[in-house]
Amino acid sequence: MIEERERDAAVKAGHRAMWALGDYSAVAAQVIPQLGATLVRAARVGPGDRVLDVAAGTGNAALPAARTGAEVVAGDLTPELLEIGRASAEREGLTLTWQEADAEALPYADGEFDAVLSCVGVMFAPRHRVAADELLRVCRPGGTIGLVNWTPQGFVGQLFAAMRPYAPALPPGAQPPPLWGDEDHVRELFGDRVSSLTLGRDAVVVNRFATPAEFRDFFATHYGPTVAVYRANAGDPERTAGLDRALTDLAARHLEGGVMRWEYLLVTARRA
């Protein structure tokens, strides 16, 4: 049991450090700025709602939720991201609570929130069942759970597939993040604990990159998981070159006229 707790703590520390690499705020602001607002609209967040944004990062969903007049708590495992989000909120004159919080052990009471959201965030918690249990636990009966998750077949799911041969193996018990973008997986995670479940695929239009190499260089510099994979291969020029080719080839297959479409699964559920 002690070894298991130590292993879990090491996994959490690794995730915290990975997401502090690079500059995720640039990804959120320059590449997918509209995605959080899409989720907030789908979840019908409004004035007076008590809202939790799980794995909030720099506030991609928390900030648009606060703009509706909701009372928002933004929780994330990585304090560096929360500090960036807090500064953004202050510049806008928005009031939110920013709190370090593990998606697999949320520090909130049962049924505390009217809406529990996560925009391409909770999908990266290693143990999907544990994270799903926590989303449901802190949402009040009749409340809304709203998620945006990258799909396995979409661009970001394929990005993780392209990086997999160059990345360390997942820790024991961890599941691949893009599984959260599979409809059957989400149905199985929530089961009869939700009274309604709506699943729809859509795509965010990304026009940030003019060339495949520009995408590769941006993600190698700014996106924590990609930065981590490059660092893991920094001592091997051949593997680094292979990773370069994998990311460039992936972007070339998806980039048309300076535009990419990144597929996601939009999940809205009503807590039973």
From first to last of its 272 residues, what are the pLDDT tens digits of the chain?
A: 667 788 889 999 999 999 999 999 999 999 999 999 999 999 999 999 999 999 999 999 999 999 999 999 999 999 999 999 999 999 999 999 999 999 999 999 999 999 999 999 999 999 999 999 999 999 999 999 999 999 999 999 999 999 999 999 999 889 999 999 999 999 999 999 999 999 999 999 999 999 999 999 999 999 999 999 999 999 999 999 999 999 999 999 999 999 999 999 999 999 99
pLDDT value of position 8 = 87
CA distance 212 to 195: 43
pLDDT value of position 120 = 98
- Report, at the CATH architecture level, how domain 2-206+261-271 is classified: 3-Layer(aba) Sandwich (3.40)
| Sequence letter at residue 186 | V
In the chain, count of helices (H) and strands (E)? 11, 7
203 closest CA partner among 154, 244, 161: 154
CA distance 220 to 248: 11
pTM of this structure: 0.97
Residue ranges per structural domain of the chain = 2-206+261-271
CA distance 253 to 33: 23
* DSSP of 64-105: HHHHTT-EEEEEES-HHHHHHHHHHHHHHT---EEEE-BTTB
3-state secondary structure of 217: helix
Q: Are 219 and 23 in contact (CB under 8 A)?
A: no
58 closest CA partner among 80, 34, 30, 91: 80
CA distance 230 to 227: 5
pLDDT value of position 1 = 64
